[in-house]
Chain A
Amino acid sequence: MRDWEALVERQLNDIALEPEESAEVIAELAAHLAESCEELRKQGMTEEEAVRRTIAQVEDWQKLSWLIQTARTKENVMTNRVKQFWLPSLLTLLLSMGLLMLVQVFGPNPWVIARKSAWSLIAPVAVVYLPWLFSLPIIGAMGAYLSKRAGGSQRAMLAAIVFPVLPYSVFFLVALPVTAIFNDRLGHNIMFLALFVGLLAWVVAPAAALLTGGVLAQFLFSRRSDSRRTVSS
């Protein structure tokens, strides 16, 4: 008995669909070919002739691959983008903002890192809300889960994970430098330090926390789908 699935998989190896989706397409087309071949055999054809006639149903596999890919993705670009990127991103952003507000109102005092030096009065300090920081891996994992569940690519998942630090990045990388340039009342030596400390406390540390949870979740999902694939094969 011919392995139709192996044949279709070989022919559609360059199809740009998510692994689960392409496995589904391969299984469906293989089932169709198997049934066509069986029907031709029932009509009295030799095995060889039936296989030849069945395979002849597809003249150009590359074209078929492209047609299927287009049919399954083109009309859904916006919806997919919303489901795979915007929805998880906005949800993680909202959750992280909401949680920060709750921690600020009800949580313990923030951890303030200040330099004990002669100029500590003017030196920039980092205000770190530790409970918020420790909750970010869960939010990152949630962003990765939502994006993955909607069939998001690695890029979409990573973007959804770190999206909550976007407002802080904009503030420290755009707003603060622009203010420093146009406001001559600010001491530029302090501004540089403030930028550096703020970036560390509000962008680098939260991004690292979000990524810890998100990447770990992503690793768990990929292990789970690998084991599923092993079981099904």
Chain B
Amino acid sequence: MIRAGVKRGTAELAVLSILEDGPLHGYEMARRIEEQTKGALRFTLAALYPMLYRMEQRGWIRGAWETSSSGRRRRCYRLTPAGKKKLSPLRREWAELFGALRRLTKVSHA
């Protein structure tokens, strides 16, 4: 299980990455992230929405109310051009960090 501090840093990357495939509402976003990370990243309501609102304020994502075929109203979030722009450097930073950690752990295990 990944610790909370690292999770916080990766949470924004996770949301931006999952929204790259298309717009999603909060619940579905949390469900897919959990499914795709095999439970390593799990968002509760209390963790997810403050982050979504913060990202929306920064202009990385944009929420809009939509009505599903079942008649349920949900706020769907989609990636903005600013969010798409933010995604590549974030990916690069995390790739560098994980690469460095991999190299470090190999050295220490040797």
Contacts and interface: CB of A to CB of B under 8 A. Distances in A.
B57 A71 contact: yes
Contacts of A24: 75
Given A58-B44, A68-B50, A71-B50, A31 B74 contact: yes
A32 B26 CA distance: 7
A72 B27 contact: no
Contacts of A59: 46
A206 to B, nearest CB: 38
Contacts of B44: 57-58
Contacts of A33: 45
B85 interface: no
Interface residues of A, number: 24
Interface in A37-79: 39, 57-60, 63-64, 67-68, 70-72, 75-76
B54 A75 contact: yes
Contacts of A29: 45, 49
Given A28-B26, A31-B27, A72 B46 contact: no
Interface in A67-113: 67-68, 70-72, 75-76
B109 interface: no
B95 interface: no
B94 interface: no
Could you say which of A28, A33, A57 has the most chain B C-beta atoms within 10 Å of its C-beta? A28
Interface in A1-57: 24-25, 27-29, 31-33, 35-36, 39, 57
A24 B53 CA distance: 12
B45 A36 contact: yes
Interface in B23-52: 25-27, 31, 44-46, 48-51
Given A31-B74, A36-B27, A67 B50 contact: yes
A148 B76 CA distance: 26
B45 A72 contact: no
B58 interface: yes
Interface string B61-102: 000000000001111000000000000000000000000000
A55 B65 CA distance: 24
A75 B31 CA distance: 28
| Interface hub of A25, A29, A63 (most chain B Cβ within 10 A) | A29
A58 B46 contact: yes
A70 B50 contact: yes
A221 B45 CA distance: 33
Nearest to B52: A71
A68 B53 contact: yes
Given A28-B74, A71-B50, A75-B58, 9 more contacts: A28-B75, A31-B72, A32-B49, A35-B27, A39-B31, A58-B45, A59-B46, A64-B50, A72-B57
Interface of B: 25-27, 31, 44-46, 48-51, 53-54, 57-58, 72-75
